[in-house]
Chains A and B, each alone.
Chain A
Amino acid sequence: MGKKSVIPFGPQHPVLPEPIHLDLVVEDERIVEAIPNIGFIHRGLEGLAPDRDFQKYLYVVERTCGICSFGHGLGYVESIEGIMNVEVPERAKYLRVVWAEMARMTSHLMWLGFTADAFGFESLFYEAWRIREKVLDLMEMTTGGRLIYSVLKVGGVLKDITPDMQKKILDDLNEIEKETREMTRTFLDDYSVKTRLVGVGVLTKQQAHDVGACGPMARASGIVCDMRMRGYEAYADLGFEPVVSQDGDSYARCEVRINEIFASIELVRRAFERMPKEGDLAVTVKGNPDGEYFARIEQPRGEAIFYSEGHGKPALDRFRLRTPTFANLQALCETLKGAEYADVPILILTIDPCISCTER
């Protein structure tokens, strides 16, 4: 039995792109307990909702997080459309799916890069980010932004994807798929990568259920939960099937995210096939929101819940956002118990932390 000591981890740490502080109680090299301390990026943007027009507040919500920017915008417009009973045009629904899935691809490719960096595989990190740039180029071509897109509006979308763009996207996706397959062979089959991932940070199905994990974290532990199964936007027509793995270790979480990249590529292709060739992009929205609504959507990191409440004024009275990383932090503390100190960076990264969403 060794002596217990506390090692502070963060808020500034080489593996962390964002600040989070963890107090790690260690006994020799083994972690007994992890106590998270968040709030380094807390801005209080929910507090801005009563001061802003509900249409203009969308631009604040999109800046909750630069990685899941599209997801946040989508959840917010869904919650407002829910209050006001707005029926979004069919084509706009498909366009939203296309952008949401491409944003998911950039997020997962980014995560693969960070994970490779955490276990010290620099060239794999660069490879993942090189492929990510190609997806970002497609996003920039269609929306005009690399990370913050601002193409959504209450009642539809602002921009269209022309047939030329569509052809270019489909061509590039073939290339992206081929390159990603080559790259992910290293993640899934390489001996040295496996030694860092297989059996590290196991979260059983029961544990994942108890701590309320969501997104790829829960799906890697065998829980079938994906908000896209709800069939919001056009997902109901696209025959969506969630990607699930059973082992619950870091390798399984890696596998789930890799397979989700391919699933997203497939969804984009299907969306282009079934999209109405022409049609309105948005409907005009009149009046102010009066009522309340919960919107639940699947972001790259899991389920996000958006609550909006308005009382007939231009500004919302209350906006509340519950993000996936907040749910997964409990799962992180669970997996850190009993882990080796050297595995801490990988375990923190396997939940795909998005601290700026969590703290808002």
Chain B
Amino acid sequence: MGKVKKSPWLLHYDGSSCNGCDIEVLATLTPVYDAERFGVVNTGDPLQADILMITGGINQQNAPVVKQLYDQMPRPKVVVAVGTCACSGGVFRECYNMLGGADSTIPIDIYVPGCAARPESIMDGIMKAVELFQKRSDEHDRYEKEHKGEAGPVDPNINTARDKVRMKEMKGAADV
């Protein structure tokens, strides 16, 4: 983990998980594991959040909710998928109401495996997210400085060629 200039705020949303990962995300933020020492704070407001932690897969009814939350977050932003269900759909992959993992609806940056994901691995995911957020934030600032705040063709959120390809493939993806 490099030098972190800002304190990113966390937004947690339960896609359609079994609750296990949600509780572990909260346990990670309480003093026993204390993720707040890395400068992150849990918030309930998507307009102020920088890192979205999504637990559980996506079903028919919550796909628009997840998309809306993602769109409401200001750029730059980082999305962490917590738990096997958010990564791939998990045991519920074959259920009739599931669309799949969280990446079926929004682009995911960091995948945290585990059923339920352990606080230690969630913490690892948070640290990677903080690092990535700092990188994107720097890119964003540099871009704005060079272009004097104009909206350009390059989205600071899209960092790698792989992301660009995935973005094209994704049907009905959020406004990115």
Q: Does B143 contact A (CB under 8 A)?
A: no
**At the interface, is chain A mostly helix, strand, loop or mixed?**
loop
Q: Which residues of A lie under 8 Å from residue B16 when comparing CB positions?
A: 40-43, 356
Interchain CB contact under 8 A, B65 and A147: no
Interchain CB contact under 8 A, A356 and B17: yes
Q: Which residues of B lie under 8 Å from residue A51 when comparing CB positions?
A: 94
A-contact 0/1 string along B21-39, CB 8 Å cutoff: 1111011001110000000
Q: Count of chain A residues with Cβ under 8 Å from any Cβ of B?
A: 39
B-contact 0/1 string along A104-120, CB 8 Å cutoff: 00000010000000000
Closest to A19 in B: B14
Q: Which of B22, B45, B96 contacts A17 (CB 8 A)?
A: B22
- Output the least CB separation between A42 and chain B (Å): 5
Interchain CB contact under 8 A, B97 and A44: yes
Interchain CB contact under 8 A, A43 and B59: yes
Complex alpha-carbon distance, A67 and B18, angstroms = 8
User: Counting chain A CB atoms within 10 Å of each CB, which of B12, B56, B97 scores highest?
Assistant: B97
Complex alpha-carbon distance, A48 and B24, angstroms = 26
* CB neighbors of A among B25-70 (8 A): 26-27, 30-32, 43-46, 56-57, 59, 61-62, 65, 69
CB < 8 Å A-B pair total: 121
Q: Which residues of B lie under 8 Å from residue A13 when comparing CB positions?
A: 44
Q: Which residues of A lie under 8 Å from residue B23 when comparing CB positions?
A: 17, 66-67, 110, 147
Complex alpha-carbon distance, A355 and B61, angstroms = 14
Complex alpha-carbon distance, A66 and B45, angstroms = 25
Q: Which residues of A lie under 8 Å from residue B9 when comparing CB positions?
A: none
- Output the least CB separation between B133 and chain A (Å): 21
Complex alpha-carbon distance, A39 and B94, angstroms = 18
- Output the least CB separation between A146 and chain B (Å): 7
B-contact 0/1 string along A1-38, CB 8 Å cutoff: 00000000001111101110000000000000000000
Interchain CB contact under 8 A, B91 and A18: no
* CB neighbors of A among B89-120 (8 A): 90-92, 94-98, 115-116, 118
Interchain CB contact under 8 A, A17 and B26: yes
* A binding-site residues for B, Cβ under 8 Å: 11-15, 17-19, 39-45, 47-48, 51, 59-60, 63-67, 69, 110, 125-126, 129-130, 133, 146-148, 354-357
